[in-house]
Amino acid sequence: MPGFTQANPRGWCWQDDAILPDEFAEALDALTTGTDTFRVNALYTQMYCDGQQPGLKKAQCIALMFSDFYDALVAEGLFSPCVWPTNNFVPVDCLCNFSCTDGYVACGRQCIDPTIEQCVSNFPQPKRRSLSTKCPRGYDKCALPTGGFDCVDVDNDLESCGGCPSYGDDEDSVNARGVDCSVLPGVASVACVKGECRVGSCLRKHRLVHNACLPV
């Protein structure tokens, strides 16, 4: 699945670690014509290329420049990675927009099957089956504090990631291991992927370190 990452504030966009073709062309044109653009300073670009090995073609220099730029952004943690749905989607752009496929519909940052799920406040929830005592395949049967049960996709549910939610001191809640990814400290974007909270980006004055947002 293609992965998009964006570097702010200029908005350079990489897909699968490669700069997008039209953005590569923008930098190459600035170098060739000596004309600045919103994102490219032609003089600085020429100075960079002059400092490389002799005989390097303009296109090769631009490719090297973006490679160095990418490595520097990764080292500084300045990328804004997208948090994508876990399945049935197609990425649209570097702004983290996506389209759901195969009859699935968007619900927050997930694509859901409307035949078995409903979207409640941008969170997928299973459709209740009043006459059934079983959950659909892929869902866990989790006790509700008011009695009865709910069907939870613990592999992808943002608020019950990895297990059933905990509601109190009862035995079922004590044994529950679900994590509410939406309340993790310092997190700007997060998804539940295969039962684990995957942090995509952090709030300002926080830095992403080993899947956690730490104050800086």
* Residue 85: predicted pLDDT: 86
The closest of 196, 202, 205 to 79, measured between CA atoms, is 202
The closest of 202, 214, 209, 201 to 81, measured between CA atoms, is 201
Phi/psi for 33 (5° steps) reads -95, -15
The closest of 198, 200, 203 to 215, measured between CA atoms, is 203
Beta-bridge mates of residue 212: 209
Phi/psi for 27 (5° steps) reads -70, -40
What CA–CA distances, in Å, run from 64 to 25, 38, 191? Answer: 14, 20, 33
175 torsion bin: left (phi>0), alpha (psi -120 to 50), beta (else)? alpha
Beta strands in 29-176 (DSSP E): 79-81, 89-91, 98-100, 105-107, 110-112, 117-120, 123-126, 140-143, 149-152
Element (H, E) at 15: strand 12-15
Question: What is d(CA 165, CA 146) in angstroms, rounded to the nearest whole number?
Answer: 13
Residue listed under structure tokens 């400290």: 185
The closest of 162, 154, 3 to 83, measured between CA atoms, is 3
pLDDT one digit per residue (tens) for the chain, 216 residues: 345 565 554 567 877 778 888 889 999 999 999 999 888 999 999 999 999 988 899 999 999 998 888 888 777 776 666 777 888 998 877 777 889 999 999 988 899 988 888 787 778 887 654 445 678 888 888 877 666 778 889 999 998 899 887 765 444 433 457 898 988 999 989 999 999 999 999 998 899 999 999 998
Tokens coding 71: 């490595």
